[in-house]
Chains A and B, each alone.
Chain A
Amino acid sequence: MGVGTLGLKSLLSDEARAEGAALDNPLAPKSPHFHGSAKRVIHIFCNGGPSHVDTFDPKPSLAKYHGKSIPVNLRTERKTGAAFASPFRFQKYGQSGLEVSELFAKTAQHMDDICVIRSMKADVPNHEPSLLLMNCGEARVPRPSMGSWVTYGLGSENQNLPGFIAMCPGGLPIQETQNWQSAFLPGIFQGSYINTKHAEINKLIENVRNEHSSLATQRRQLNLLQQLNARHAASRQDDPRLEARIQSFELAYRMQMDASDAFDTTREPQYVLDSYGDGVHGRQTLIARRLLERGVRYIQLWHGGGQPWDNHDDIEKNHRRLAKQIDQPIAALLADLKQRGMLDDTLVMWGGEFGRTPTVELPQAGANQGRVNGRDHNHHGFSMWLAGGGVRGGYAHGATDEFGFAAVDKPVHVHDLHATILRLLGFDHERLTFRYAGRDFRLTDVHGNVVEELIA
């Protein structure tokens, strides 16, 4: 209907480059507002909330005050008590000398390519709204996710694969598929979810496996179909929609091969497989690189179902275990992208929906196991990092207070991060809009300031 088509057509200059990019194909590649340094995004999402004071934001004062109360104790989800020193060792890395904890020792080898934002802040200390804020720029009501916005704005470079893919091993994060929702944008911009525990291509792209006909027979079938369609079209002038549907069958036919290939990590040489390591996270990260290489626009790698990083208890044990699962794959990805010359225009993003308190969480029946060795959620201040895609490597932006409770120096709200990412991709975040329900919606709503310092 009018609304939809107008919305799509009025978007940007519609430069359909790829073959088969017909009028109706919303995934045809498009140019952004201006030249962007990043062409694609991979977002490593440590859902549950990784602790910044145990990873990328060293706070020696916590050791000094360990077990004692500190002057700052802000309201978070649950009650917390005394300062709780990080059980992890920090050290400086690279020319930049940025400090990172032992949890990400391998990733830290790339610190000179990494821009750590140590002054992130969100709005509330709860998972559900914070996940939606981080993903969709709005905490409560359905709005398109950043991946949907980016795919809407840029289309995809590969018509044989979805433009936006969300991978998560072993189930869905909380808030489920809302994390990669398209909301009022067309459904095709929604993230396609795959459970990488199985990595079945058929689960990523429904019906991509042809289980009923040989390829040869299917080719003959398509030839017949195209003959019938050509006869049908002949008496109907040049109707682009008829042509688009004809082309969509050819694309689908090729997709059956290409998509399977993208997910087949056994085609990688052994040294590459070794560098990413065994395990589901190594595999999903390697699949992600293969997809990025094939022109997929936006990928999210979730750590796992539920909220694995939500360590209210036993943070030392759990953070160590979780970081171990992804440190090597992330390091391998950064090295691999760099070696392929892709890091320059691939934006890598790491973080959770918030960080954790520098103070210890107090026992509360039903809430935790009462071990008094974990941390509560913390939206007042936390860390995220960006790498590649034109960001300023070897740079730490902003700071939390002495203890790491709240962002105090150059705070970066999630909206600011979104505005900056859109800038890196070539968009003015105030102009990437979609008319819906009487107003022009955008990812950053009425907020967001580009953080120039993050850009190289």
Chain B
Amino acid sequence: MIGVRDIASMVLSGSLVMQSAMIAMAEDPTREQLDFFEAKIRPVLVEHCYACHSQAAGSAEGDLLLDSRDGPRTGGGSGPAIVPGEPNQSLLLKAVRYDDETLQMPPPDEGGKLPEEVIADLVTWVRLGAPDPRSTVTVAPAKDWDAASQHWAFQPVSKPNVPREGELPVDAFVKEKLELKGLALNPPADKRTLLRRVYYDLTGLPPSYTAMQAFLADKAPDAYTRAVERLLDSPTYGQRWGRHWLDVARYADTRGYRTGGKQERYSFSHAYRDYVIQAFNDDKPFKQFVVEQIAADYLELGTDKSALAAMGFLTLGRRFIDNANLIIDDRIDVVTRGFMGLTVSCARCHDHKFDPIPTADYYSLHGVFASSEEPAELPLLRELDDSPAYRSYLSAKQKLEDDIERIKNEKVDAFLSKHRAKTGDYLLAAHDAESLDPKVTLEEFAGKRDVDVRLLRRWVDWLRKNPSHPVLASWRRVAHPKDALDDGDPSLAAEFDERNPTSLEAAAEIYNELCRLAAKQGTEHVPLHGFLHGDDCPSNPRRDEVAGWLRRLISTATAGQKRDIEALNWSHDGAPPRAPILVDRDRPRNSRIFKRGDARNLGDEVPRQFPRVLAGADRKPFERGSGRWELAQAIANERNPLTARVFVNRVWGWHFGEPLVDTTSDFGIRTPKPIHAELLDWLAATFMENHWSVKELHRQIVHSETYRQSSHVRAKGFAVDPENRLLHHANRRRLDFESMRDTLLAVSGTLDPKLGGISIDVTKHPAPPRRTVYAFVDRQNLPGLLRTFDYPNPDATSPGRFSTTVPQQALFMLNGPFVIDQARTLASSLSETMTDSQRVRQLYRSVLARDPDEAELGLARDFVSRKDSEQGDELSVWEVLAQTLLLSNELMFVD
């Protein structure tokens, strides 16, 4: 039920009111009952109650709404208005009967008491169980949905006609817009520029000198086509385009901050990363890619379970110190913004300010993820083999588990023996506790006496119940001398005889001493031992109970072992790979709205279902399990107006450096229709026609003249369209972090192109020469290196990378040991027998895939001619020259 304040604020702000709580009816009313309601009850409610108690009137006096089935049942500030079947407990009847002066409805000054026969009908209705066919759905004001439905991005994707013939479709759309402004495409880029561009674009790597020479020499008309196909077939393609997707998936290898020294690293994040790379390499239809990332657990998989790893998309976000609602929020956000450019998370606390997304729709998705959980044991990605490595892993794991059990036992033992040795202190404290100042709590008192309050409680109880226990005989000699006992523990008695204590403190000390002795010597010497270890002894609680008390202590003491058990998953080569999945809970359930985002302030339950703006007014709640499967199907769907558009726009942006729609993750109302809306739709429609093939989409783009034109900026184009929205030139781009680092490895010849595996630390020196997509990403403490080079914030889906230029980047290039290593490797390939010119030429070929011209040769020869090294020079002039080429703008920018 929407509270009165919510209604007021929504009405005031003119925002959407959409309330939907289709709670299934517990019992189906009979036809007769419904007829009775329609004939006798509904008219009364409408006529006499709705003015003050209905959403339509925007009024809920006393927080009570009567315009739905649930309204009177839930009631208002005074509790439920009716209790079905119980007329005497129903406030509504009390009110209409005018039984209570303070509760008279309708109020005397607003129509007054209802006729007796109407009251009798209401009583009958309640007695019948208040049959009521109404639902709580309140339809939003139609004009708001109409306005929303006008938004360009919410229109179904239809394939526009290509505006002219004889052109590739992409070019036809682009040229049409250019010509309207009197502009034209640039001439094609030269072959060298083009090959370098398409290499970086499709693989994130530069062409080698040899590849460049072969391409320049290839005069066949399909030379470029073949080059493109080779690149699309290369596994390096997936390493590049998979990385783009990992930005969207806010990929990282850690959970973020955790308390108590718990393991922050995810065990199987790399499985997701490898899945993504493989999906791009396999040209997995994007539709299937979407479904697998949301609901691979629903698929009938054969022996190849690799698709399960796709669900890392959901599970590898930040964990917010295990706050379930924030984890769900993260999942809703990555799904809705990542796939659909819909900022659903904005509706967590209030209806979306701009888009037609009511809070109810957010909690509909909340229910989907609240009904999903991570299984206690993640599924294996391949079948277990009984290999020696696996057995070694099992034994390493068992050893750690044994350690945990041992530590737990030690802590319990230590606690028990420490407190058994203070039996006298407990006797004394329990004795004194009987006369405790009532203002002082037992906790406080126990603290002052340095005894454990839980044991003390047991002692107090025990003393009350067993005042004459033999072990107390000696104690009573001092505590209750007039009422002493005869039979007692002889060892205590002997000690008391000898020392004859006169104070309780002294008596307590004797108990303490004998308990310590008992601990040392065992039962045959000190009979007290038997008492201390007996079930009856208040200082000997059950071990599991003690372990419960010591939970925090034990948890801290075993945190290291628990961390290590998880760490085996990536450090031990016998650890079986698993998939970081979600599964449905046994009992899926709907979520209730958190009013103003506050989990303690619950509103109505809402069904698990797709947002209305996309599903339409006749949407149906999800029926299968959590609803994740249906959610996935609704996203990966030709009829979803956003999924294909959003993805195609991202792909365009990754190709050109600028997307067609600036806000790649927000296609909401505030995002204006882009200049190239028809092109976007044509690409989206064609993408879907081509079975969501990403590689086919690449072909549509990279073969176009638009893509292949030069990056030269002409004055006229700049004057008319300085931001190049119309695409009158190609965009020059600086290498991003991964391309930069991969390039340095590639040109020095050390790049290891291997696919897959455990993440590597790219910040350590020397770092494995693997591609940067395999970098370990700690989202909690993102390394400075990554931040410096504009690596996206891995806490939320990234709409695109920044491109900043700061001196810290230059410092990495100038002084970073990684760059120095590459320079050294390059220089070491220069042979002694070469002339200086040959050496310079070789460096140019390795680094820039071309020969130097005469002027460049001259500059380089000049540079290396200074052989006298300065104090502090560790590098040879050739190493410094090699490094200089690595720093050059020519290497770091792509025309």
**A and B from one assembly?**
yes
Inside 8 A of B662's CB, which chain A residues have their CB? Answer: 2-3, 6
Give Cα A187 to B732, complex, Å: 22
Inside 8 A of A217's CB, which chain B residues have their CB? Answer: 869-870, 872-873, 875, 880
In the complex, what's the smallest C-beta–C-beta distance from B647 to chain A, in angstroms? 15
Q: Which residue of B lies closest to A81 (CB)?
A: B444
Query: Which residues of chain A from 169 to 221 have any CB-CB distance to chain B below 8 Å in the complex?
Result: 172, 174-178, 182-184, 186-188, 190, 192, 205-218, 220-221
Are B549 and A241 in contact, with the CB atoms below 8 A? Answer: no
Are A187 and B880 in contact, with the CB atoms below 8 A? Answer: no
Let me know if B453 is at the binding interface, CB within 8 A.
yes
Let me know if A69 is at the binding interface, CB within 8 A.
yes
Q: Which residue of A lies closest to B658 (CB)?
A: A2
Let me know if B58 is at the binding interface, CB within 8 A.
no
* Selected interface stretch from A112-120, A245-253, A393-401: A245-253
In the complex, what's the smallest C-beta–C-beta distance from B317 to chain A, in angstroms? 11
Are A178 and B887 in contact, with the CB atoms below 8 A? Answer: no
Let me know if A452 is at the binding interface, CB within 8 A.
no
Q: Which residues of chain B have a CB within 8 Å of any CB of chain A?
A: 256-257, 259, 318, 320-321, 323, 326, 329, 333, 337, 343, 345-346, 353-355, 439-441, 443-444, 446-448, 450, 452-454, 549-553, 653, 657-659, 662-666, 668, 670, 711-713, 732, 734, 780-782, 784-788, 790-791, 793, 795-796, 799-816, 820, 855-856, 859-860, 863, 866, 869-875, 880-881, 883-885, 887-890, 892-893, 895
Are B653 and A363 in contact, with the CB atoms below 8 A? Answer: no
Which are the 6 A-B pairs with shortest beta-carbon distances? A438-B343, A1-B800, A187-B787, A363-B447, A252-B810, A366-B552
Q: Which residue of B lies closest to A436 (CB)?
A: B799
Give Cα A162 to B788, complex, Å: 11
* Selected interface stretch from A97-105, A230-238, A322-330, A379-387: A230-238
Query: Which residues of chain A from 1 to 52 have any CB-CB distance to chain B below 8 Å in the complex?
Result: 1-6, 8, 22, 24-27
Inside 8 A of B343's CB, which chain A residues have their CB? Answer: 437-439
In the complex, what's the smallest C-beta–C-beta distance from B448 to chain A, in angstroms? 6
A-B contact pairs, 23 of them (CB 8 A): A8-B802, A26-B804, A27-B806, A175-B257, A178-B256, A187-B802, A188-B806, A205-B808, A210-B815, A213-B880, A217-B869, A217-B870, A217-B880, A225-B884, A231-B856, A233-B889, A241-B732, A242-B893, A245-B892, A366-B550, A366-B553, A372-B447, A438-B346
| Also in contact, A365 and B549, with CB within 8 A (given A2-B662, A5-B803) | yes
Let me know if A293 is at the binding interface, CB within 8 A.
no
Are B734 and A140 in contact, with the CB atoms below 8 A? Answer: no
Inside 8 A of A174's CB, which chain B residues have their CB? Answer: 257
Are A213 and B734 in contact, with the CB atoms below 8 A? Answer: no
Give Cα A437 to B780, complex, Å: 21
Q: Which residue of A lies closest to B657 (CB)?
A: A1
Inside 8 A of B813's CB, which chain A residues have their CB? Answer: 249
In the complex, what's the smallest C-beta–C-beta distance from A241 to chain B, in angstroms? 6
In the complex, what's the smallest C-beta–C-beta distance from B264 to chain A, in angstroms? 10
Are A367 and B257 in contact, with the CB atoms below 8 A? Answer: no
Select which of A188, A214, A232, A362 is within 8 A of B447 by beta carbon: A362
Q: Which residues of chain A have a CB within 8 Å of any CB of chain B?
A: 1-6, 8, 22, 24-27, 68-69, 79, 81-82, 128, 140-142, 159-160, 162, 172, 174-178, 182-184, 186-188, 190, 192, 205-218, 220-221, 224-225, 227-229, 231-233, 236-237, 239, 241-242, 244-246, 248-249, 251-253, 255-256, 360, 362-367, 370-372, 435-439
Inside 8 A of A242's CB, which chain B residues have their CB? Answer: 732, 889, 893
Are B658 and A1 in contact, with the CB atoms below 8 A? Answer: yes
Inside 8 A of A25's CB, which chain B residues have their CB? Answer: 804-806
| Also in contact, A232 and B808, with CB within 8 A (given A142-B318, A242-B893, A439-B343) | no
Inside 8 A of A367's CB, which chain B residues have their CB? Answer: 552
Inside 8 A of A68's CB, which chain B residues have their CB? Answer: 439
Inside 8 A of A82's CB, which chain B residues have their CB? Answer: 439-440, 444
Inside 8 A of B873's CB, which chain A residues have their CB? Answer: 212-214, 217
Give Cα A418 to B814, complex, Å: 39
Give Cα A365 to B444, complex, Å: 12
Q: Which residue of A lies closest to B863 (CB)?
A: A224
Inside 8 A of B888's CB, which chain A residues have their CB? Answer: 225, 228-229, 232
Select which of A214, A253, A371 is within 8 A of B871 by beta carbon: A214
In the complex, what's the smallest C-beta–C-beta distance from B892 to chain A, in angstroms? 7
Give Cα A372 to B445, complex, Å: 9
| Also in contact, A184 and B796, with CB within 8 A (given A209-B815, A249-B810) | yes
Are A228 and B856 in contact, with the CB atoms below 8 A? Answer: yes
Give Cα A367 to B734, complex, Å: 53
In the complex, what's the smallest C-beta–C-beta distance from B518 to chain A, in angstroms? 25
Q: Which residue of A lies closest to B556 (CB)?
A: A366
Give Cα A224 to B734, complex, Å: 21
Are A141 and B814 in contact, with the CB atoms below 8 A? Answer: no
In the complex, what's the smallest C-beta–C-beta distance from B775 to chain A, in angstroms? 15
Inside 8 A of A371's CB, which chain B residues have their CB? Answer: 447
Give Cα A2 to B788, complex, Å: 19
Inside 8 A of A177's CB, which chain B residues have their CB? Answer: 780-782
Are A224 and B859 in contact, with the CB atoms below 8 A? Answer: yes
| Also in contact, A228 and B884, with CB within 8 A (given A242-B889, A248-B810) | yes
| Also in contact, A183 and B880, with CB within 8 A (given A175-B257, A232-B890, A372-B448) | no
Are B443 and A79 in contact, with the CB atoms below 8 A? Answer: yes
Q: Please name 5 further chain A to chain B contacts, defined as beta carbons within 8 Å, in addition to the given A182-B793, A251-B810, A256-B815, sorted by A numbering.
A: A142-B318, A206-B784, A241-B803, A252-B808, A255-B807
Are B787 and A190 in contact, with the CB atoms below 8 A? Answer: yes
Are A248 and B259 in contact, with the CB atoms below 8 A? Answer: no
Inside 8 A of A439's CB, which chain B residues have their CB? Answer: 343, 346, 353
Inside 8 A of B808's CB, which chain A residues have their CB? Answer: 162, 188, 205-207, 252
In the complex, what's the smallest C-beta–C-beta distance from B433 to chain A, in angstroms? 15
| Also in contact, A249 and B893, with CB within 8 A (given A140-B323, A141-B326, A176-B781) | no
Q: Which residue of B lies closest to A128 (CB)?
A: B321
Q: Which residue of B lies closest to A210 (CB)?
A: B815
| Also in contact, A231 and B872, with CB within 8 A (given A177-B780, A190-B787, A370-B450) | no
Give Cα A211 to B873, complex, Å: 8
Are B814 and A207 in contact, with the CB atoms below 8 A? Answer: yes
Are B257 and A220 in contact, with the CB atoms below 8 A? Answer: no
| Also in contact, A176 and B807, with CB within 8 A (given A128-B321, A228-B884) | no
Are A2 and B663 in contact, with the CB atoms below 8 A? Answer: yes
| Also in contact, A207 and B806, with CB within 8 A (given A1-B657, A1-B658) | no
In the complex, what's the smallest C-beta–C-beta distance from B801 to chain A, in angstroms? 6
| Also in contact, A4 and B453, with CB within 8 A (given A213-B872, A217-B873) | no
Give Cα A184 to B780, complex, Å: 14
Q: Which residue of A lies closest to B883 (CB)?
A: A221
Select which of B551, B663, B859, B885 is within 8 A of A366 by beta carbon: B551
Inside 8 A of A366's CB, which chain B residues have their CB? Answer: 550-553
Are B803 and A4 in contact, with the CB atoms below 8 A? Answer: yes
In the complex, what's the smallest C-beta–C-beta distance from B883 to chain A, in angstroms? 7
Give Cα A183 to B794, complex, Å: 9
Are A221 and B796 in contact, with the CB atoms below 8 A? Answer: no
Inside 8 A of A241's CB, which chain B residues have their CB? Answer: 732, 734, 803, 805, 893
Inside 8 A of B791's CB, which chain A residues have their CB? Answer: 187
Are B815 and A188 in contact, with the CB atoms below 8 A? Answer: no
Q: Which residue of B lies closest to A251 (CB)?
A: B807
Are A4 and B443 in contact, with the CB atoms below 8 A? Answer: no
Inside 8 A of A178's CB, which chain B residues have their CB? Answer: 256-257, 780
Q: Which residue of A lies closest to B887 (CB)?
A: A225
Q: Which residue of A lies closest to B443 (CB)?
A: A362
* Residue from A178, A183, A218, A438 with most neighbouring chain B CB atoms (10 Å): A438
Are A220 and B866 in contact, with the CB atoms below 8 A? Answer: yes
| Also in contact, A214 and B872, with CB within 8 A (given A159-B807, A245-B889, A255-B811) | yes
Q: Which residue of B lies closest to A370 (CB)?
A: B447
Q: Which residue of B lies closest to A203 (CB)?
A: B784
Q: Which residue of A lies closest to B666 (CB)?
A: A438
Select which of B812, B869, B872 is within 8 A of A207 by beta carbon: B812
Q: Which residue of A lies closest to B763 (CB)?
A: A206
In the complex, what's the smallest C-beta–C-beta distance from A69 to chain B, in angstroms? 6
In the complex, what's the smallest C-beta–C-beta distance from A326 to chain B, in angstroms? 25
